[in-house]
């Protein structure tokens, strides 16, 4: 099981590794005042934390939900920093047995913060044990087997659980109900991403002009993690092929090299649209067929490319399959067909497939 005490906020996203982990960690805000965007969530969270500090007791358990890359892990680390408390970091998939969770909870001291990333993936036996720990600060340890098994209650020091999830719909009702504060994080506006990029550029020592930050922000899909990743790539380009200053033109040239177009679409996104339009006439077509056409797993297409394409208005999920919108045809430089039954914009095309 992956859990460890963290004195400084150094945890990074599970998708990152190597240099990417170090990069993300270096750019994380340390305090709530440094956190850019999500104003409503920050205001609510500040009230929760401040009132808890005035009472001298741990705050209610906190659930942070939203798409990847919006700062859920950063907020969890900030919560611990604002409370001046140690944080224990783990993830849902790492907690396979109730005993794993019981062992972790038994080592907590009063006021500690326990952060469980991807909490919707926690094993059911461990989740049931977590109910009692969150509500009554107690765990029941089962000793023995069969008819002779006995439950021994053990007290747990009052703690604050911070759960993060990208799939809040997969959380069970009993688990969700035990969180005193639930916050949903939305995609960032371009203006907020510009602020994120300016702060990151200061930390990294990058000469970033205002128009350069605007260009990168507009291609970042409303996601700070992507914005920071693109900034690092543009920085590399500017240092090697220019004078190190990131202007709009340099950002455009750099992102063209890295296959990120003006809407933020990458190679996979464009491959999906290209296959859908050029090979299947714009659809409707099933996601598994599209996946075969682009040489990817269906799950990758559905979870990585499709959400942004739908949000950007380039793809629609209809009862009969995926359909390219008029905007997708135009984006690929092709005239949209029009006049076809079930085309996006009709009532039929707005119906999403189950699941």
Tokens encoding 240: 């090697």
Tokens encoding 249: 């033109």
Q: Which of 3, 28, 72, 90 is catalytic?
A: 72
Nearest-angstrom CA–CA distance, 283 and 329? 12
pLDDT for position 246: 92
Tokens encoding 169: 């719909």
322 CB-near residues (< 8 Å, 6+ apart): 276, 283, 284, 285, 286, 287, 290, 306, 315, 316
The tens digit of pLDDT for each residue in 159-168 reads 999 999 998 8
* 117 assigned to active site: yes
190-257 is a CATH 3.40.30.10 domain? no
pLDDT for position 145: 63
pLDDT for position 251: 94
Nearest-angstrom CA–CA distance, 14 and 311? 24
Nearest-angstrom CA–CA distance, 1 and 95? 6
**Is residue 72 a contact partner of residue 164, using CB atoms and an 8 Å limit?**
yes
Chunked mean pLDDT (size 10), the chain, 355 residues: 40 49 72 90 93 91 92 92 92 87 88 93 88 85 61 82 90 90 93 93 91 94 93 93 91 93 90 90 88 89 87 89 90 76 40 38
Q: What is the architecture, at CATH level 2, of domain 4-184?
A: 3-Layer(aba) Sandwich (3.40)
Three-class DSSP category at 346? strand
Instruction: Name the β-bridge partners of 114.
Output: 88, 161
Strands, E assignment, 31-92: 62-65, 87-91
235 CB-near residues (< 8 Å, 6+ apart): 204, 206, 246
DSSP letter for each residue of 13-32: -TT--THHHHHHHHH--SSG
Q: Where in the chain do CATH 1.10.10.10 domains reside? A: 267-350
Percent of the chain's residues with pLDDT above 70: 85
Nearest-angstrom CA–CA distance, 150 and 211? 67
* 53 assigned to active site: no
* 166 assigned to active site: yes
Q: Which of 73, 160, 223, 318 is catalytic?
A: 73
Q: Where in the chain do CATH 1.10.8.60 domains reside? A: 190-257
The tens digit of pLDDT for each residue in 235-248 reads 999 999 988 899 99
Q: Distance of alpha carbon 94 from its chain centroid, rounded?
A: 18
Q: Which of 88, 219, 225, 270 is catalytic?
A: 225
Q: Which of 100, 112, 117, 269 is catalytic?
A: 117
* 72 assigned to active site: yes
Q: Which of 21, 166, 233, 326 is catalytic?
A: 166
- Phi and psi torsions of 118, nearest 5°: 50, 50
Return the ∠ at Cα 343 (arms to 342 and 349), rounded to 5°: 65
CATH topology of domain 267-350: Arc Repressor Mutant, subunit A (1.10.10)
């Amino acid at each position: 099981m992956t859990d460890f005490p963290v004195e400084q906020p150094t945890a990074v996203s599970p998708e990152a590794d190597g240099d990417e982990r170090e990069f993300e960690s270096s750019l994380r805000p340390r305090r709530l005042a440094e956190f850019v965007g999500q104003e409503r969530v920050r205001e609510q969270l500040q009230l929760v934390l401040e009132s808890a500090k005035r009472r001298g007791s741990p705050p209610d358990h906190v659930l942070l939900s939203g798409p990847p890359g919006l700062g859920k892990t950063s907020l969890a680390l900030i919560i611990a920093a604002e409370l001046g408390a140690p944080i224990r970091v783990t993830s849902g998939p790492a907690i396979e047995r109730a005993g794993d969770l019981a062992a972790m909870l038994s080592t907590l001291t009063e006021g500690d913060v326990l952060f469980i990333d991807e909490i919707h993936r926690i094993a059911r036996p461990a989740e049931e044990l977590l109910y009692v720990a969150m509500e009554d600060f107690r765990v029941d340890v089962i000793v023995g087997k069969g008819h002779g098994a006995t439950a021994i209650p053990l007290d747990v020091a009052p703690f604050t659980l911070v759960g993060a999830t990208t799939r809040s719909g997969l959380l069970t009702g009993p688990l969700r109900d035990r969180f005193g504060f639930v916050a949903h994080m939305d995609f960032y506006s371009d203006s907020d991403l510009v602020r994120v990029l300016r702060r990151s550029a200061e930390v990294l020592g990058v000469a970033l002009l205002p128009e350069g930050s605007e260009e990168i922000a507009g291609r970042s899909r409303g996601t700070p993690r992507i914005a920071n990743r693109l900034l690092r790539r543009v920085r590399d380009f500017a240092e090697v092929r220019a004078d190190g200053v990131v202007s709009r033109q340099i950002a455009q040239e750099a992102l063209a090299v890295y296959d990120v177009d003006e809407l933020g679409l990458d190679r996979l996104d464009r491959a999906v649209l290209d296959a859908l339009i050029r090979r299947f006439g714009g659809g409707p077509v099933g996601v598994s067929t599209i996946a075969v056409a682009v040489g990817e797993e269906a799950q990758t297409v559905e979870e990585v490319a499709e959400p942004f394409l739908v949000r950007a208005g380039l793809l629609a999920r209809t009862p009969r399959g995926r359909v390219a919108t008029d905007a997708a045809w135009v984006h690929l430089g092709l005239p949209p067909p029009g006049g076809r039954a079930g085309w996006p914009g009709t009532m039929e095309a707005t119906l999403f497939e189950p699941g």
